[in-house]
Amino acid sequence: MKKSDLIFAAAAGVATASVMLGAASAKTLLMATDRTGSLYYASGSAVAKVLTTKSGHRVVVRAFGGPDSYIHAMNKGDYDFTVVSSNTAWFQYNGKTRAKKKAENLRLVRSGGGALKLGFLVYNDSDIKTVEQIKGRKVVSDFGGHAAVGPIVTAALWSGGMTWNDVQPVKVTGVVDAPKALGAGRVDVSWGPIGMPAIREIHSKKPVRFLSFKNTPEQLAMFREKVFPGVRLTTMPPIKHLGLQGKTTLLTSDTYMLTHKNVDKKVLADVLNAMWDAEKDLTKSHFSLRGFTNKTAATDLPVLPYHPDAVAFYKTKGVWNDAVEAMHGKLK
């Protein structure tokens, strides 16, 4: 064999070994999500697709009936990641659920501008024009596997001077079933986020309209006291194809990507780097992730702790500032 052939063979062997080593280090990761048809199923699936392409790992999506169905398995390390609202994260971490069980092993990986813009919705031709006019009407309630939804709807009623005794509650089993109850004529008032596929489907057949909250410091303080500390109010411009028939103030909260405290450090490093480097791919992957930018990755309104490796990473990127550090330091 010629010397040049020996050199080529050696180089090929090194390349083959490198590929094999890379393949060996790659893992199949599990992304737990809300049920198919929900906004957070779409968000989690979009993140999983980007990570599969960019992180060197394969991320498989597992959909459940709601966060109550998988969070505690994830808390034990059975699932690697999830994408949820900060509202859901706070309720689960603090055990403010029907199970009364804290998911204290959850850790924040990355935050983003709120995917969920939430409110009451009615058909556009309904005579209900304000939250106060919900009184006496049939309203979706309970929400089965979504423990975080009931309290926020309760607070939304309070914002209009009502309790559940002032309306006719109609139980639904989850967030996707809420707009379906409106579509089936079971309720006068539903609840949900703008852009939810189930709402868009109903809207395509008969236009819906979101009701507006009052955007005042008093309203915001009430929601943060009655629901959870991370609530925000946001005023949206008219977007008629999404049911915003005029300028509308809705409730929102940050979107979180979570893991558990014992996540593989190499995996987490790969994920953090991939999401940072693929910011444009991430924010374009689904409309619900448009606010998932690098500059919001470290939120100034955290409601559960970041993973220490994420803290260290964001410090190197310059987005872990004094305001974030001060708020993070207040967490238990």
Nearest residue to 110 via CA among 323, 330, 284, 283? 283
State yes or no: pLDDT of 34 exceeds 80.
yes
Q: Over 90: is that where the pLDDT of 174 sits?
A: no
Residue 178 has pLDDT above 60, yes or no: yes
Under 8 Å CB-to-CB from 169, ≥6 apart: which residues? Answer: 139, 140, 141, 142
Residue 145: what pLDDT?
Answer: 65
Element (H, E) at 203: helix 197-205
| pLDDT tens digits, 93-137 | 999 887 889 999 999 999 998 777 899 999 999 999 999 999 999
242-252 tens-digit pLDDT:
999 999 999 99
| Mean pLDDT (whole number) for 177-200 | 94
Query: For residue 267, what pLDDT is reported?
Result: 97
Res 5 pLDDT > 70: no
Q: Give the per-residue pLDDT at 97.
A: 82
Listed in order, strand segments (DSSP E) in 173-222 are: 190-193, 208-210
- What is residue 11's predicted lDDT score, i.e. its pLDDT? 40
pLDDT in tens, 208-231: 999 999 999 999 999 999 888 889
CB contact set of 131 (below 8 Å; sequence gap of 6+): 120, 156, 157, 159, 160, 211, 212, 213
Predicted pLDDT of residue 228: 86
Give me the chain's average pLDDT, please.
90
Percent of the chain exceeding pLDDT 70 equals 92
Poorest-pLDDT segment among 10-24, 33-47, 240-254, 317-331: 10-24
Count the residues in the chain: 332
Q: In this structure, which amino acid lies at residue 296?
A: T
The better pLDDT of the pair 37, 282 is held by 282
Q: Note the pLDDT tens digit of each residue in 291-301.
A: 999 999 999 89
Going by C-alpha positions, the residue among 299, 308, 304, 300 that lies closest to residue 332 is: 304
Tens of pLDDT along 58-68? 999 999 988 98
**DSSP string covering 66-125:** SGGGTHHHHHTTSS-EEEEEHHHHHHHHTT-STT----TTEEEEEEES-S-EEEEEEETT
pLDDT score, position 18: 37
pLDDT of 258 higher than 70: yes
Q: How confident is the model at residue 188 (pLDDT cuts 50, 70, 90)?
A: very high
> What value does the mean pLDDT take over residues 229-237?
92
> Could you give the CA distance from residue 10 to residue 212 in angstroms, rounded to a whole number?
69
